[in-house]
Structure 1
C-alpha cells in the first residue's frame, strides 16, 4: 500500500460519496481480498467535470470504477462522483447492484482492457457474501 500512497495516485471525490457509498465498496473489497487466495483490484476514474466546479487546476472526475479479478471470476462497479444519482449514504450490499457492470460495460466506459484474458458473465458471483447482487 505504501507504494500507492502518492499524490499522483489521488483523485478528488465528493465528500459524502467518499465517506459513505465508496467507503462501503472499499470495505467490501477488503473483505473479499481476505476471503480469496489472490485478488487483483483496479480502481480509477472516468470522465471529468460534472456538477462540481474545477478548483484551480484540479479536474474532478465524473465517475469512479472498481474492478475485482481473481481466478474465480470478476466483479466491477461504476459509481457517479458528482451529479444526479450520487449515493449519499453507505449502501446495503444489494443496493450496490445498481452500479455493478459487466466487464464489457467497463471496457466501453473506460476504453481500457483492464482484465486481459478475463471474460464471461460472472456478475455478482465473486465474493457474493461481501456484496450480494439482487435488484
Structure 2
C-alpha cells in the first residue's frame, strides 16, 4: 500500500532493479539509486493481480485501462493531506508546532501565580 498515492490502481516494475513499487517516491525511499527511465513499462493491476506491459512511445487513451479487467488505472491521484492546519513548516517535516490534545499538559503557569496578594488587600 502506497503512502504517497492513496488510490494507486497499479504497481510499476522498476526497470533499474526489477522490483515492484506503487510510485516513484516509494522507489526513492528504499533504493540507493535513481529510477531509470524506459519506454516500455511493466505494470501489475491491483484489481485482477495480472501483469501487463505498455509501450510509452505509442501510448493512447485506450491504454489507460487494464487489458485483463478494464480497470481504469490512470486516474487523478489522491494524496494525503495534513489534517491540522498550522502556519509554518510542513507538519510532516517538523511537528513541534502541533499540540497533541491527547497528552496531558502542565497546568497554566505564570510568574504571578506564586504571589500571595491577600495580605496586601487588607
TM-score over 0.5 for the pair: no
Higher-strand-fraction structure: 1
Query: Which has a greater percent of helix?
Result: 1
Q: Give the number of the structure with larger relative contact order, counting CA–CA contacts within 8 Å between residues 6 or more apart.
A: 1
Q: Which has the larger radius of gyration?
A: 2
